[in-house]
Amino acid sequence: MEWYSALLLMLGLMFAFMAIGIPVAFTFLGVNLVGAWLFLGGEAGLGQLVRNSVGSITSFSLTPIPLFVLMGEVLFHTGLAFRAIEAIERLINKLPGRLSVVAVLGGTTFATLSGSTIANTAMMGGVMLPQMLKRGYHPTMAMGPIMAVGGIAMLIPPSALAVMLGSLAGISIAELLIGGILPGLLMALCFLGYVIIRCHINPELAPADESATKAEGWERWKPFMRDVVPLFAIFVAVVGSMLAGWASPTESAAIGAVASVIATVFYRALTWQALYKSLMETAQVSVVILFVLVASTTFAQLLSFSGATSGLLSLINELQLSPLMLVLGMLAILLVLGCVIDQISMMMITLPFFMPLAHAAGIDPVWLGVMMLVAMELGLLTPPFGLLLMVMQSVAPPSIRLQQIYGAAMPFIIMEVAVLGLVIAVPWLAIGLPRMMN
């Protein structure tokens, strides 16, 4: 079979299965069966497929995925995350769009403690949205910041998705995690500025509320010092154990998970029930990712085995694109894909092609990896299919229409695209910190 027939067959089947609503993991498993039969050779090929599938998930590099998710879930289910947000809320006074500002700050804080975008958005949405709507915030100001800041969790470490990207793409996981910090913070700053400026110009977007505590001095700062600052010890445990040479990057995820549990013990917030719930939720969120990995790692292998990968790559190489054009092309593909499919599938579909191309063109893998994360984060917000849009829909009251959710996300999408452009123009934003670390 010629490489383009193989490529068309594999991708065609994949898109067809996905379009009729077959879950992503089973789509890939199904295409794999066909591909294994054709390219690996009949029944022996099917057996090889099974062996490769088991091997793909038996990997120490993937262990941070559930552990990073666990960190966030523990803080969420023990209520510590909510106490932290309340403490932040107490600090913010008299700012235009006060609760939206709290959402951005709280979401960013939680992003340093949680590796799961879904957990982040579900929590922020569940906590902040009802209050904001009750106080007459415009839906854009209420839902936008919550959705946008949720995506930052996958950029700022810990991040389960960054680990997955690093392991699939062969990019240093530690450098990728550190590289996401600056772009993530930059985004948070943009969101913050936007909220304050918009609400200052048009106060009706966020009516001033009377409920803001009038506490001053220590009374105002005490909850922050008590409920927020110590939590950064968890972040320090993860990054510090790595920098001090006590643990490898992979191992540090386990330290983070255990540190979160220990933190909740110190706050006397840990109950068996909360721990059980956190673990179950962790299994739920991370196995979705891991099970797709089983299927899609072997998909990439089959694509390569069939000759489709190298065929397409040599075709693109003939185009003689400059590295910049190549990067722009890759990001454009990701942004388009991001409108219709989820982050994990995006990685699975594109990485088998992107990484060899980037390697051949001498593109810095960490830079590319960070930009891919930003582009994928955008996919969380772009209609029609965006994970965070759906999470928001599930926590929002029925009176909120889907178009309103789309509209709320729009300004934040534009800001994220701007940040992406900035990272393209100034690669230092992505690779500066990792370089310093070395």
Partner 1 sequence: TLKAVTAFGQDTFFNQRFKAFVEKVNTEGKGIMKIQVIGGPESMPPFEVGNALRAGVVDIANSTGVFHANMVPEALAMTLAEKSMAELRANGGYALLDEIHRQKANMVWLGRVSDGLQYHVYSNKPVSSSDLSGLKLRSVPVYRSFFQAVGATPLQVPPGEVYTALERGVVDGYGWPSIGVFDLGWQEKTKFRVEPGFYNVEVSLFMNQNTWKKLDAAQRAFLEKQVAWAESQNANDLKVAEEEKARQAKAGIQTINLPGEQAAIFRAKAYDAGWKGIEQAAPQNAPKLKALFSNGR
Partner 2 sequence: MALQSAAAEGPAPSGAPSGGMYHFLMILCGVAGAMLFAAMAVLVCVDVFMRNVGMGNISWGVEMTEYMLMVATFLAAPWLLYLNDHIRVDIVVRGVSAPVARGLELITDAFGFAVCAVLAWQSVVVAQDAAAQGSMVFKVLIFPEWWLNVPMGLSCTLLAIEFARRFQRGLRAPERN
The binding site for partner 1 (CB under 8 A) comprises 40-41, 44-45, 47-48, 51-52, 55-56, 59-61, 166-167, 170, 172-174, 242-250, 300-301, 304-305, 307, 309-310, 352, 356, 438
State the binding partner of 254 from Na ion, partner 2, partner 1, none, CB within 5 to 8 A by kind.
partner 2
- Residue 236 contacts partner 2 per CB under 8 A: no
Q: How far is the CB of 59 from partner 2 (least distance, A)?
A: 6
| Positions 323 through 382 that interact with partner 2 (CB under 8 A) | 340-342, 344-345
Interacting stretch for partner 2, rule CB under 8 A, among 155-163, 241-249, 300-308, 426-434?
Answer: 241-249
Binding partner of residue 307 among Na ion, partner 2, partner 1, none, CB cut-off 5 to 8 Å per kind: partner 1
- Kindly tell me which of 156 and 292 has the beta carbon lying closer to partner 2: 292
**Structure-derived torsion over alpha carbons of residues 97, 102, 103, 108, reported in degrees to the nearest 10:** 130
For helices 249-266 and 64-77, angle between their N-to-C axes, nearest 10 degrees: 10
Binders of partner 2 among residues 161 to 200 (CB under 8 A) are none
Query: Hey, what long-range contacts does 203-210 have (CB within 8 A, 24 or more apart)?
Result: 203/96, 204/138, 205/97, 205/137, 205/138, 205/140, 205/141, 206/96, 206/97, 206/98, 206/99, 206/100, 206/132, 206/137, 206/138, 206/141, 207/135, 207/136, 207/137, 208/98, 209/98, 209/99, 209/135
Q: CB 265 → partner 2: shortest distance, Å?
A: 14
Q: Work out what residue 386 binds among partner 2, partner 1, Na ion, none; the CB cut-off runs from 5 to 8 Å by kind.
A: Na ion
221 binds partner 2 (CB under 8 A): no
CA–chain centroid gap for 157, Å, is: 10
What does the per-residue mask of binding to partner 2 show for 124-163, with x meaning CB under 8 A? --xx--xx--------------------------------
Which partner from the list Na ion, partner 1, partner 2, none does 174 bind, CB cut-off 5 to 8 Å by kind? partner 1
- How many other β-carbons are positioned within 10 Å of the β-carbon of residue 175? 23
- Determine which helix (DSSP H) or strand (DSSP E) holds 162, and give its type and residue range: helix 160-169
Distances (CA, A) of 314 to 290, 297, 328, 356: 31, 22, 19, 10
Closest CA to 68 of 267, 258, 248: 258
Determine which residue in the list 280, 332, 360, 426 makes contact with partner 2, applying CB under 8 A. 280
101 binds partner 2 (CB under 8 A): no
Residue with smaller CB distance to partner 1, 18 or 171: 171
User: Which lies closer to partner 1 via its Cβ, residue 247 or residue 400?
Assistant: 247
Q: How far is the CB of 248 from partner 1 (least distance, A)?
A: 5
In three state form, how does the secondary structure of 180-222 look?
Answer: CHHHHHHHHHHHHHHHHHHHHHCHHHCCCCCCCCCCCHHHHHH
- The runs of H, that is alpha helices, within 228-322 are 232-243, 249-266, 272-305, 308-318
Residues at the site binding Na ion, with contacts judged by CB under 5 A:
111, 153, 156, 158-159, 338-339, 379, 382, 385-386
Q: Of 414, 437, 389, 435, which is closest to residue 187 (Cα–Cα)?
A: 414
d(CA 278, CA 72): 9
Asked if 217 interacts with partner 2 (CB under 8 A), we say no
Q: Which of residues 49-78 bind partner 2 (CB under 8 A)?
A: 49-51, 53-54, 57-60, 62-63, 66-67, 70, 76-77
